[in-house]
Structure 1
Amino acid sequence: MGYALFFRLSHTPAEELVRITTTRALAQGWRVVIRGRDISALDRLDEALWRDPADGFLPHGLSGGPHDAAQPVLLTLGSERPNGAHALITLEGAEVSPEEIAELERVWIVFDGNDDLALQVARSQWRALTGAGAEAEFWSEASGQWRKEADNRKS
């Protein structure tokens, strides 16, 4: 059974956190789906992930192509996971269910902590998911360093 990690961004760009978490997930042998709510934001993320990072290439693709099932990392607007993902990253308040959290190894819920609406959506997701029995941690970098703000994990 997996759990969710909420990440309230204040200083780190979403692209950087996505690259870090995705790289770690791939190192675990997990496939990843990145779910957003806006195609232009996913296009920007796609471009950012294609740029030549200092630490190497991050294999990925946008959903809707002929090779979705073969992608180690798939960016999508939908709830499907055609690549057999073990992990999910949600952006911009994209929905995730308690059932998905339970069946995946890990779920990262990433949001802009400087945006009041994004913060309200994340808090609502926290209440709904933990209220339905999903285990979760809430991390914030508002102080300049990552700190765990809340944890309802049983183990």
Structure 2
Amino acid sequence: MGAVLFYHLTRSSAAATAGRLLPRALAAGWRVELRCPDAAARADLDSRLWQGPEEDFLPHGPAGGPHDARQPVLLTLPGEAAANAPRALMTVGGAAVDPAEAEALERVWVLFDGDDPQAVETARGQWRALTGAGLGAQYWNEDGGRWALRHESAPRE
């Protein structure tokens, strides 16, 4: 059972934060499912992840292609199976995370928009569901342009 990390976005976008976190997962040898709430959000995130300097290239693709199983980062929608056998999951836009799936992964990141009251409430509900199921979780907030750990809930034995 890995860690569940909640990232309260107040300065950075989901794409920028994903662009910083995902290379670490790939360096650890993990394939990642990046779950978006809907097709429009997935297309936007896919486009944003292609932008930037060449040295920051992040290999990824939306689910439904012929090479899904080989994608290091596979962008999915709720209910889509991740064909790339991920060891980590990142969600954006309030996409759901089931406690049983989180327990089987090395890492789960929940990125949520701190300026959207509904997104904050959704993240709070996800925190309650995941920690209520006995998973450990961390809450990270942007403080002065840097990420700071603000709260931690230990896993239950």
TM range (shorter): over 0.9
The RMSD of aligned alpha carbons is: 1.6
| Structure 2 Cα separation of the partners of residues 121 and 52 of structure 1 | 30
Q: Percent identity?
A: 48
1:92–1:111 contact (8 Å) kept in structure 2: yes
Aligned runs of 1:111-122 on 2, under 5 Å?
111-122=112-123
Structure 2 counterpart of 1:146:
147
Normalised by the length of structure 1, the TM-score is 0.93
Alpha-carbon distance, 1:142 to partner? 5.3
Task: Quote the offset at 1:128 in angstroms.
Answer: 1.1
Work out the CA distance in 1 between the residues paired with 2:141 and 2:119: 13
Q: How does 1:36-47 map to 2 (within 5 A)?
A: 36-47=36-47
Distance 1:68 1:6 in 2: 26
Q: Secondary structure at the match of 2:115?
A: coil
Given that 2:10 and 2:115 are in contact with CA atoms closer than 8 Å, whether structure 1 keeps it comes out as: yes
2:63 is matched with which residue? 63
1:6-155 alignment to 2 at 5 Å? 6-53=6-53, 55-79=55-79, 80-141=81-142, 144-154=145-155
Alpha carbons 1:9, 1:142 under 8 Å: kept: no
How far apart, CA to CA, are the structure 2 residues paired with 1:98 and 1:55? 35
Deviation at 1:133, TM superposition (A): 0.6
CA contact (8 A) 2:131 2:155 kept: no
- Any gaps of 5 or more consecutive residues in structure 2? none
Contact residue 61 and residue 71 of structure 1 kept, 8 A: yes
User: Cα deviations across residues 1-57 of structure 1 (Å, max 9, x unaligned)?
Assistant: 112000000001111111111111001110011001121111111111112435332
Equivalent AA in structure 2 for residue 86 of structure 1: R
Distance 1:69 1:54, change over 3 A: closer
SS, match of residue 100 in structure 1:
helix
Aligned residues: 155
